[in-house]
Structure 1
Amino acid sequence: MIRHQLVVFVALATLAGRSAAAQPDLVTRIDAIVEAPIKAGTIAGASVAVMKGGKTLVSKGYGLADLELNVPTPPGATYEIGSVTKQFTAAAILLLKEQGALSLDDEITTFLPDYPTQGHRITLRRLLNHTSGIMGYTEMREFGDFSKLKRPRQDLVALFAAQPFTFAPGEEQIYSNSGFFLLGLVIEKVSGMPYETFVQQRLFDRVGMPNSYYCSERTVRRNHAHGYDTAKGVLVHKGYVDHTWPYAAGSLCSNAEDLAAWNRALHGGKLLSPASYTEMTTPGVLNDGTTVRYGMGIGLRDIGGRPAIAHGGGINGFQAESQYYPDDDLIIVVLQNTAGPVNPRDLARQIADVVLPPPPDRSRPFTGDASAYAGTFTGRGRRGATTVTIAASGRGLTLTNTADAAGPPETLIYRGGETFAFKDTLVVFEKQDGKAVRLRLDIGSGYNILARAPASGQ
């Protein structure tokens, strides 16, 4: 096994060198994208893997893995990957389904009989696509202190299970780490082994990911990058979190090369059966028949006008992005050892723009009455109540979200019908008597239904 992995590593390294030599301009442009925030001091370091059609275009580290000792990011540096973990958890559930050990439509109480469902029917499927309505523990004020403790996992379950459901299962989609925490417990109950052992044996070892493992706040790992947070524009040591808690929602560590191999195996039909892969990459469906842009542990995005199967991750000191563009067989992995203003999704999108030809322009001219959409809309969101303000100027519309009040208003691009977009977000209006009365905010990992707020004075 070790000899096989060494052969694979040497082959990939040789291929990477040939690709870089053959396309120096492409590599230089990718280097410039990643090095810009490092030179600006907004991230300490990063590792990037770019593969197209099975050929490695870039596989390298940038910046520093340790700021205090001025240690450059080594080849194969490992990082905490946060919520990129979720696709591994989803794949584990699907493998157990293939064995006949469970069904995606099984209720959670089949495996965790003491879980208080508060009268709701919660299936594994609802946990996998964030439509269960269970409150996310990372959004709970109590979790701040709890995250630093070493306690039984059941204590955290008791903490979030006591909270009222955010919505009835299937009514909306709000990202919930609690759902994936519960899925980890299901994997352990059904397989009879710890989550980290199942993932190591059934996923990492099978795919050939020798530098991937369950993270630890104590274990010393060779080539593991140190993580940094951002405070008042300055990089600081990452905040402490005990890895009992991110668990099946976000406690895996990996490097860019291993995640590229994971993408090739997952999307190349080498891990799951065709039926399971289809399940994983099929959009979830709400009770009213609306499809969401999320499968099982993985997003079904429109990135820069291109369809992509992707997911990001953020955890104390680290951010990650893993993207697969099926139309172009392109894999982009960006890992950075800094949590802060620079999002690896944006870096990955810029890299895609360098590697791929321009996508088709799907915008359309808007000739309607923009004022019919203007107003304030409120509803539920991941971090509580969400308020969105739509402003009209001539035939143009802008959106301001109270969750991102510090940022400038987003200009909406018309997509046809009652659908507009900005970046990777879709904004779908519902009208009554010629006036927008509801707004559906589809961010890919969340689908929130907001109602028009009464005008002031009404």
Structure 2
Amino acid sequence: MFRKSLSLLVLPLLWAGTSLAQTAPTAFNQPRLDSLLTALDANHKLAGTFQLTQNGKVVYRRAIGQEQPGVPATTATRYRIGSVTKLFTATLIMQLVEEGKLKLDAPIATWFPTLPNAGKITVDQLLHHRSGLGDFTRDPAYGQFMSQTKTQAELLAIIQARPVDFEPGAKYDYNNSNYLVLGYLVEKLTKQPYAQALQKRITGKLGLKETYYGGRLDARKHEAASFNWDGKTWSIQPETDMSVPGGAGAITSTPTDLTRFIEGLFAGKLVKPATLLQMQTMQDNYGAGLMPIPFSDKQGYGHFGVIDGYRSALTYFPTDKLTVAYCGNGISSGYTVNDLMLGALAIYFNKPYRLPNFNAPTLTEAELSTYFGTYASTQMPLKITVTASGTTLMAQATGQSAFPLTPVSKTQFTYAAAGLTMDFDPTAHTFTLHQGANNILFTRE
């Protein structure tokens, strides 16, 4: 399924003290990033292609894992990108708005009169996931029909039969039906199949030869199968028929092409600057196909994607002119694409970072519970609450999101993305937080 495609990139730098704030940037540590990718490959955590591009120049590119069973992936391997497709669809819609063929406040009843609340739902609400339409990927039968060829009429009927979730505009709820409908709207207004509109309006303009509306997987085109690591081997995952995700998730691409796409978008090659600013205007942290993706003190924009065993991520940091792109086809437990993005950015920007330890001990819930509580320090005003989610120890600092801690031993835990280590003393009910040159003692209240 491709609906679980959003993942906020948040780095909880708990202590921005003098020693961190005054650290001067140094050269990109490529061997360290290589070590991270090598560890992920050796421990069967991810499979795919990762690329960093700064100011139009590729500074790092590497493929790990396999393209097809027994065939190693290369940097030319093509992957399904899932919901990163939504940024392409939003761009097509905003082009039509610029051309005067569409208004953002237009009710969708003009084109889709049978959909629930069609007279109330606007194009803008579809773009920002505020329509209230039922998500067709949450249909109980989705697992059965996802591999079947479906027509526009059939999929609209499925959406029509779903109960509405809320009144249009009432709130944000990420929903694939919104962008499926927007893809159909592109077809109605351009009088072309989505694939042709995509080629004419985006890929053709930017010379993206490896980006297109997907079909049945074709190994001759170096299209990757998707896999899941089951603890012993990489097993092939079921294949979604690309007639189903449409404008919400049907595009195939590579990190190189995704980089050219988002750089072209921000360079004004696809929409006007004022239109791009509209796309970046957030409603509940979602713009028009763009998510805000912060890292430390930097602000990026992009999208994440999931479909079958594929995972993708695309982020552009305008101030640094840095693009981070990942397309993957292998998933496992204990590590995510979000973790990779955080780790790679920390390494690139020379932030404190500890490589993940995949040989960590497993602690029981009872063992973890000895660390639960809220801790305070006389050295800084921040408080940290320690809890657990299942068998994963969690920490949450004042005003920040909770983050997972990885055990190095039964008393030492790390959060690699922030270069953070917490050494617990269960007898004294304390822990020492190590981050950069800072060593801060916290005591349980």
Tell me, which stretches of 5 or more residues in structure 2 are unaligned? 1-25, 353-371, 377-382, 405-445
* Residue 101 (1) aligns with residue 93 (2): no
* Residue 52 (1) aligns with residue 44 (2): no
Asked whether the equivalents of residues 398 and 411 of structure 1 are also in contact (C-alpha less than 8 Å), the reply is: yes
What pairs up with 1:423-442 in 2 under 5 angstroms?
Answer: none
Deviation digits for residues 72-98 of structure 1 (CA, Å, limit 9, x no counterpart): 222321100000000000000001111
Q: One-letter code of the match for 1:422?
A: A
The residue aligned with 2:402 is 422
Deviation at 1:64, TM superposition (A): 2.3
The residue aligned with 2:294 is 302
Match of 1:293 among 285, 308, 318: 285
Q: One-letter code of the match for 1:115?
A: L
Secondary structure of 1:421's counterpart equals coil
The residue aligned with 1:42 is 45
Distance in 2 separating the partners of 1:220 and 1:73: 12
Deviation at 1:399, TM superposition (A): 8.6
Tell me, which stretches of 5 or more residues in structure 1 are unaligned? 1-22, 285-291, 360-390, 425-458
TM (norm. structure 1) is 0.72
* Residue 89 (1) aligns with residue 98 (2): no
The residue aligned with 2:307 is 315
The residue aligned with 2:326 is 334
* Residues 398, 154 of structure 1: alpha-carbon distance in 2 compared, 3 angstrom cutoff: farther
Deviation digits for residues 174-206 of structure 1 (CA, Å, limit 9, x no counterpart): 110000000011111111000111011111111
Match of 2:36 among 25, 33, 37: 33
Q: Percent identity?
A: 27
Asked whether the equivalents of residues 304 and 423 of structure 1 are also in contact (C-alpha less than 8 Å), the reply is: no
The residue aligned with 2:368 is none
Q: How many residues align?
A: 353
Structure 1 outlier segments of 4+, above 6 Å? none
Distance in 1 separating the partners of 2:62 and 2:293: 26
Q: CA RMSD in A?
A: 2.5
* Residues 235, 330 of structure 1: alpha-carbon distance in 2 compared, 3 angstrom cutoff: same
The residue aligned with 1:186 is 185
Secondary structure of 1:190's counterpart equals helix
TM (norm. structure 2) is 0.74
Deviation at 1:229, TM superposition (A): 2.6
The residue aligned with 1:324 is 316
Deviation at 1:266, TM superposition (A): 1.0
Distance in 2 separating the partners of 1:301 and 1:422: 17
* Residues 65, 24 of structure 1: alpha-carbon distance in 2 compared, 3 angstrom cutoff: farther
Distance in 2 separating the partners of 1:399 and 1:135: 36
Structure ranking higher on relative contact order (CA contacts 8 Å, 6+ apart): 2
Secondary structure of 2:258's counterpart equals helix
Asked whether the equivalents of residues 115 and 159 of structure 2 are also in contact (C-alpha less than 8 Å), the reply is: no
What pairs up with 1:66-81 in 2 under 5 angstroms?
Answer: 66=68, 68-69=69-70, 71-81=71-81
What pairs up with 1:344-423 in 2 under 5 angstroms?
Answer: 344-358=337-351, 393=374, 396=383, 398=385, 405-406=389-390, 408=392, 410-415=394-399, 420-422=400-402
Distance in 2 separating the partners of 1:144 and 1:169: 27
